[in-house]
Amino acid sequence: MDKNLTTSLSNLEPFLRQAILRPKRKDTIRTLVFAFLLSILIFSWEIFGSAESKSLALLADAGHVISDSFAFLLSIFAVWISDRKPTSKMNFGFFRVEVFAAFCNSILISGISIYIIIEAIHRFQSHHDIAPDSMLVFSLGTIALNLLSVWLLKRIAADNINLRSAYLHVLSDLLGTLAVLAGAILIRFVGWVWIDPLISLLLSIIILRSAVIILKESILILLEASPTHEEWDHLKKDILEIEGVENILSAHTWTLTKGIHASAFRLQIASKSDPKMILKNAYELLRGEWKFEQIYLQLEDPKTTQTIEGIVAKTLHDIDSEEWGHHHHTHDHPAHHHSH
């Protein structure tokens, strides 16, 4: 290994050595903030338009827009968080805040969607007067604002999956507003008042479906679900094919935030195998083919495994059932460790 690299690694805190830092660009944050403020403006415009025209479809589209406002916030956070390095307390960094925000967002948007669905069903059952001219004006204004947002995001969305997601959100907003515009035209010239709750119902179902998908993803990440559970047999086979690896003693794979995965393995290796070569091959496999960003490997020959299992078994035997889950320090700390 290069001497300068070895020196720089030795000077790093242990929790910084596998830090995942996403690239940050000032123009990206600036554009995202502007797009977020624009979406808040569209939301306010449509809420006012819904009150003026009595259109539920405009209200439903406003619900769609506010859900995308949260998506922009998450995108801004994802770019900004790249500067926040792991600490001794937050060893894995701050990626989970993004997941928690998505979880809260999905619950909020689900509530808004369910409210609009109930209101749409109520409107099917009773007549409501709608001002089609006002609905037409506000939907045209929303389309103009959405086109501006699409133009802004298209310039920065090409090389970043997170930004492409925000761009697609805005495109879906535009399609939703076009549906509202079509409804306004039909009400204005044909008199189909029932088209307003129908559009509201369809938009809310689409939003609710997206919210449920995000809710499910965020719950699975927060519960440490394995991102590779469907491909476990393939992953196990690849690891066992590494020369010198005899068995997988324990395996854990989990997700820090969407698109950033971690893995930890205890591998039993042959007594006379080359641990350095096994580590190199394992890292190349897990990083290159399986795309794990955080990798933790523990290599044990059979004698070491027997020793470790003996320590674990003895420890478990000594712990009473009511002590499970509690962390005890049985060693003494020198007094100077606690003095400042």
Q: Is the pLDDT confidence value at 337 over 50?
A: no
Of 320, 319, 53, residue with least CA distance to 196: 53
| Residue 111 vs residue 156, higher pLDDT | 111
| Residue 116 vs residue 276, higher pLDDT | 276
pLDDT computed for residue 340 by the predictor = 43
Mean pLDDT for the stretch of residues 4-10: 51
Q: Is the pLDDT confidence value at 22 over 90?
A: no
Q: What are phi and psi of 298, to 5 degrees?
A: -125, 115
CB of 154 within 8 A of CB of 167? yes
pLDDT computed for residue 327 by the predictor = 52
Domain 13-222 has CATH 3.20.20.80: no
What share of the chain in percent tops pLDDT 90? 33
- Please report, for the chain, the start and end positions of each structural domain, with discontinuous segments joined by +: 13-222, 229-320
Domains 13-222 and 229-320 share a fold: no
pLDDT digits (tens, 9 = 90+) for 209-227: 888 888 898 899 999 999 9
pLDDT computed for residue 174 by the predictor = 84
**Sheet of 245-257, strands arranged across:** 245-257, 260-269, 294-300
**Range in 52-66, 91-105, 224-238, 254-268 the model is least confident about:** 91-105
Mean pLDDT for the stretch of residues 313-318: 65
Q: Is the pLDDT confidence value at 119 over 50?
A: yes
3-state SS class at 249: strand
Q: What is the pTM for the complete model shown?
A: 0.74
pLDDT digits (tens, 9 = 90+) for 243-274: 999 999 999 999 988 788 999 999 999 988 99
For 217-290, strand residue ranges (E) read 245-257, 260-269
CATH architecture of the region 229-320: 2-Layer Sandwich (3.30)
Return the top range by mean pLDDT from 90-94, 129-133, 173-177, 181-185: 181-185
Mean pLDDT for the stretch of residues 33-62: 90
Query: Which contacts qualify for 22-25: CB closer than 8 Å, 24 or more apart?
Result: 22/78, 22/79, 22/81, 22/82, 23/82, 24/79, 24/80, 24/82, 24/83, 25/79
| Residue 180 vs residue 171, higher pLDDT | 180
Distance CA 340, CA 338 (A): 7
pLDDT computed for residue 338 by the predictor = 47
| Residue 6 vs residue 232, higher pLDDT | 232
**Position 115 confidence tier, pLDDT thresholds 50, 70, 90:** confident
Mean pLDDT for the stretch of residues 1-28: 57
Cβ within 8 Å of residue 50, ≥6 positions away: 56, 58, 59, 62, 138
3-state SS class at 130: coil
pLDDT computed for residue 122 by the predictor = 87
**Range in 65-74, 122-131, 143-152, 318-327 the model is least confident about:** 318-327
Q: Is the pLDDT confidence value at 331 over 60?
A: no
3-state SS class at 259: coil
